[in-house]
Each structure stands twice: as structure tokens, then as C-alpha cells.
Amino acid sequence: MRMSPSRLFVAVLALAATGPALAAVDNTNLNVTITITSVCDIHTVASLPVNFGSVASTATNVDQQGQLTVNCTPGTAYTIALDNGQNGTDVNSRKMASGANLIPYQLYRAAARGAGDVWGSTTGVGGNVLAGSGTGAAVNVPVYGRTPSANFPVGTYNDVVVATITY
């Protein structure tokens, strides 16, 4: 049976008038959060030693430089302290040893190696430590060293200094 065009038009119009069938809708909020905590790392990249090398016993004010690498959360304040070493009683008496023989040396926060630049062992804010603020990337921190005299018995002298970061 063939539908007349007018009846077909009326049927299409009737279907269009009823509209599409809709499903019910409901919604809610979904919270997304993260808590970032501060962290500082001073040991992922190995430190570079302060190596005074081989020098004649007549040498004075032998200067060298080592390096620490620090990586802290952006904006995190920190301080770095260097202890007295294995042979010093305080930061002003750091010594490298070869058996019973000791050679005094000093570590500094600045290349000028002035008395006010001596790198201290007191952690936290204050004292003669190095202060900084994290960038989120590894930052190289130079350690300047000086031994005032090499006029000591022949030998290989060494010391171990512990670097501590407080944040």
C-alpha cells in the first residue's frame, strides 16, 4: 500500500512533534588535589672533592675547589653545614692526616677565602653556613679550600668532612 505524500508528511510531522526520548541526568563535583612536601637532596650527585694535588713542601696558600650538588623543592629554604672533619675539634682546626702527621686546611663558602667566609658546622639558620632556596633543579655549590702551608713530612694526607643540609 502506497502512502500519499500528504499522509507521509503528517506522519513525519507527528514523529517530530513528539521529540527525542531523553534519559535522566544528575551530576556532582569531583575534587582533585595534591599536597607537595618540601625535600632537599645533597647526595644524588656525588660531590667533587677538594683535591689540593701534589705540591712542593715550600708551597703556601694552596687553593683548590670542590663541589656539592643540591636539589630542593622550588622555594624551599635550606642551609648547608660542613662538619669539623675527622681530625678537627672545630671548624677552625680542620686537618688532613697522614698517619700521625697533620696539615691544617680550611673550607670556605666564597672564593675570596676571607675569615668571614669560613664554612661552619652549625646546621639550621644562622651561624656561618651556606643559605639558599630551592629551584627544583640540581644546583652546583662550590666549596673553596685552602691549606696555608705544605711544609710537612712527605705523604698523602686526607680528611673526610660531612656536609649536612637542613630545610
| Span 74-103, pLDDT tens digits | 999 999 999 999 999 999 999 999 999 999
The answer on pLDDT for 167 being more than 70 is yes
Query: CA-to-CA distance for 104 and 94, rounded, in angstroms?
Result: 6
Helix (H) or strand (E) holding 147: strand 139-149
Residue 101: phi and psi, rounded to 5, are -85, 140
The answer on pLDDT for 125 being more than 60 is no
**Which domains can be identified in the chain, with CATH numbers?**
40-166 (2.60.40.1090)
The answer on pLDDT for 28 being more than 80 is yes
Question: Contact at 8 Å (CB) between 135 and 41?
Answer: no
Which has more pLDDT, 132 or 126? Answer: 132
pTM for the complete prediction?
0.80
| Span 136-162, pLDDT tens digits | 999 999 999 999 999 999 999 999 999
66 SS3 class: strand
β-pairing, 101-104 with 40-41? unpaired
Average pLDDT, the chain: 89
Number of H helices, E strands in the chain: 1, 9
Question: Contact at 8 Å (CB) between 41 and 134?
Answer: no
